[in-house]
Structure 1
Amino acid sequence: MTDLDVDEVEATTGTDAARGTFVETVAIEDDDEVLFAGDTGVLPFEARRVLALLLQRRYLSAADHPAEWKHLLTHQQVLSSRLHDLFVELVVDRDYEIAYKRQVRSEGLAIPVLLRDEPYKRIETLLMLFVRNRFRQEQGSGTAAAFVDAEELTDYTLGFLAHDETNLAARRREIDNAVATLVREQVLAEVAAGRYRILPVVEILLPVDRLAELTAWLRADTPEVSA
C-alpha cells in the first residue's frame, strides 16, 4: 500500500468515525407528533389534552384527573405560555391541587375578554356561603370530605325569604335551579339522590376576604353580587 493509499484509508476511516460519533440532528419540526391530518401543533398529546381540559372546564383537579394533573405540572410553563397568547392566566394551587384559568386584565391594553365573570344570583350566593362554611367546619374537624343534603340547602335558603312569602313552590324551584348551577359549576358533586359532596374549589372561589365581603352583603340584603 502506498503512502497515498494509507492517507486515503485514514481519511475515510476518520470521516466514518466522525459520522458514528456525531449523530445527525433532526429538525425540531420532525420531532412533532402529528395527531391528525394537517396537524401543525407542536405540543405532545398529553399537554394538548390538558390544555383542552383547562379551556373546557371551570377547573382541573388532581382528585378527578390524576394523570392529567401530573402532565399539567410537567408542562406547566408551556401551557401557561399558550394561555398567555389568549390573554388568559393559568393559576395552579398546589395546596388544593387545583388549576384554573383567569382572564388577564391590564390597564392600557385593549384585551378581548374570553372569560366573563357572571354574577351569582342571590340564592346561588346564599348557597355558596352555606357550603363554604360547611366545608370549613368539616376541614377544621379533620374530616376528609364535606357533604351536604338538598334539604339542608333548601331550609337554609328559605330562612332568608320574606316572612310574608306565599309562593314557596316557586322559591323551591329557584333553589333547585341554584343547586343545579353549583353542580354545573363544579362546586358541588352529587354522590347520591339529594346528597352532594362539597368540592375544594369553593375555598378558592370564596377566600376568607371574599367570604367576609359576602357576609356583609348578606346582612345588607343587596339583591345581587358578583362572586
Structure 2
Amino acid sequence: MTEEHAASTDARPNLWPGDLGSLHEQSRRALLEIVKGPYLSGRRRPQLWAALLADEAAIRSQLHNLFLELVIDPVDEFAFVRKVRTTELDVPSPLRTESLNFLDTAMLLVLRQLLLAAPGEQRVIVGQTEIYERLDVYRTGDRSTFTRNLNGSWTRMLNKFRVLHSAGEGRAEISPVVKFVLDHDLVLALADEYRRIAEKSEPGTEEADGA
C-alpha cells in the first residue's frame, strides 16, 4: 500500500465497521434528503444545507453515478435532484414520478403564479379560501364534492409535495421550490389549456373533471 493510498484510507470517515463511504455523516444525510425528495430546504435544515454546500462537488459526483444532477438555488436556499439532461445517451429514469390530478395541477399553477407575482418577498403567504376561490372556475358537479377534492389537493401540497408550509389556521407559505415543480414549457402549455377550460366551463357542468 502506497503512502498516498494509506493517507486517503485513513481520511475516510468510517461510520461503522466495513464502511466504504467517502462522505462525512452530515453530507450523507444531505445526499439522502435530496434523493428522497422532493427537496432540501436550507432554511428548515440548516445543518444539512451547510454540509451540502461544503461537499457539493463530491455529492454531485455521487449523484452522477445515478444519472442525477443537483440543482441548487442559493438565493432561496433549496436544492433538489433531477434526471441528467443530455443528448449524448439514453438516460434512464431513476426517480419516482408523482401523478397529479386535474386540481393538483391547477393548484400548482395558481401557487406558482402567486409566488412569481411577489418578487423579492421573503415569504409569500396565502389563504386557503383565496386559493379555492381562484380554482372555482373549474368546479364541476356539486360544491361539496368539489370542496372535498380541493381539500385533498391542499393536503397533498402540504404533506406530499411540500410546496406549502402551514402558517396558521387556513393559511400557508408558498415554498420557492414551486417554481421548479413543473417544467417551464409545460407550464406554458398547461396555462393555455387551463385558460381554455376556464373560459368554456360554467359551474355545474361536467366538463374538465380530470387531467
Contact 2:128 2:170 in 1 (8 A): yes
What's 2:202 paired with? none
User: RMSD of aligned C-alpha atoms?
Assistant: 2.4
Shift of 1:90: 1.1
Amino acid at match of 2:181: L
Identity of aligned residues (%): 29
What's 1:38 paired with? 18
For structure 2, the 5+ residue unaligned runs are 198-207
What's 2:144 paired with? 169
CA distance in 2, matches of 1:80, 1:108: 19
TM-score when scaled to structure 2? 0.81
Which residues of 2 match residues 180-199 of structure 1 at below 5 A?
A: 180-183=155-158, 184-199=160-175
Shift of 1:216: 0.3
What's 1:60 paired with? 40
For structure 1, the 5+ residue unaligned runs are 1-23
CA distance in 2, matches of 1:143, 1:31: 43
What's 1:114 paired with? 94
Shift of 1:113: 2.2
What's 1:213 paired with? 189
What's 1:12 paired with? none
When the two structures are aligned, how many residues end up with a matched partner? 196
Asked if 1:145 corresponds to 2:120, the answer is: no
Amino acid at match of 1:218: Y
Shift of 1:78: 0.9
CA distance in 1, matches of 2:73, 2:43: 13
What secondary structure, in the 3-state scheme, does the structure 1 residue paired with 2:100 have? Answer: coil
CA distance in 2, matches of 1:105, 1:116: 16
Amino acid at match of 2:41: S
CA distance in 2, matches of 1:105, 1:212: 20
Shift of 1:212: 2.8
Contact 1:92 1:99 in 2 (8 A): yes
Deviations 1:157-216 (Å, cap 9, x if unpaired)? Answer: 223224xx22x2222111111111111211101122221111111122247654432210
Contact 1:132 1:202 in 2 (8 A): yes
Amino acid at match of 1:48: R
Structure number with larger C-alpha Rg: 1
Which residues of 2 match residues 16-165 of structure 1 at below 5 A?
A: 26-104=6-84, 109=89, 111-139=91-119, 142-162=120-140, 165=141
Contact 1:132 1:206 in 2 (8 A): no
Deviations 1:124-169 (Å, cap 9, x if unpaired)? Answer: 1111121122222233xx532111112222222223224xx22x22
TM-score when scaled to structure 1? 0.76
What's 1:6 paired with? none
| 4+ residue runs over 6 A deviation | none
CA distance in 1, matches of 2:139, 2:33: 39
